[in-house]
Amino acid sequence: MELMLGHKEALQRCQKAGGAILSIMDEMENVFVWEHMQSTEGQSGGAWLGMNFNPKGGTLVWHDNTAVNYSNWGPPGLGPSMLSHNSCYWIQSSSGLWRPGGCTNITMGVVCKLPQVKEGSFSSSALQENTTALVVVVLAALALLVLLAVAALLYKRRRNPDRGAFESARYSRSSSGPGEVAEKNILVSDMEMNEQQD
């Protein structure tokens, strides 16, 4: 819970994420949220709760208009003076107790509840992202294979044991024709003449 916002900004942030601001339906969920808040080392005093005062019924409701049937108000409790359309509510990170407060208080963190995604269900945007990633991976793998094939071919050519580094079919040492023998003889005789002159 690094992010600290006012209540209105927290609501908008959760809506942009495709969820809703925190609602707590029972004690087990309250303990879970409170333990999670304890494990994050943020500077917030708590997290906003997504409840409003419904003036028609005179009761508190969650943002989806379900009744607040479970509560964990800290002392002195929640009096009628604290129930107004302009009040906001939060869960205290140090105790897990709920408190009323001003909606512009920016020392509260944001916890969003996101809808549970069923296994095997994909959105079209997620499918497009996965397809794009798959194409990139396949193309990279093909490029790597081409590079490896070229490297193997070059390595094989350089390591061919039948030919030396400067030999080819035209200049092989093993086959010497009549012209080569004559050339060798001329070179040897030139060397001998040079030695005699010295």
Q: Is the pLDDT of residue 197 over 80?
A: no
Domains (range + CATH), the chain: 7-14+20-113 (3.10.100.10)
pTM of the model: 0.55
- Can you give the pLDDT at residue 70? 92
Residue-level pLDDT at 169: 53
Strand partners, 51: 62
Q: For 5-56, give the DSSP string.
A: --HHHHHHHHHHTTSEE----SHHHHHHHHHHHHHS--S-SEEEE-EEEETT
Distance of CA 60 to the CA centre of its chain: 38
Q: Quickly state the pLDDT bin for 110 (edges 50, 70, 90).
A: confident
Q: What is the mean pLDDT of residues 22-36?
A: 91
pLDDT band at 136, cuts 50/70/90? confident
Q: Using one digit for the tens of pLDDT, what is the confidence trace for 57-73? A: 888 899 888 889 999 98
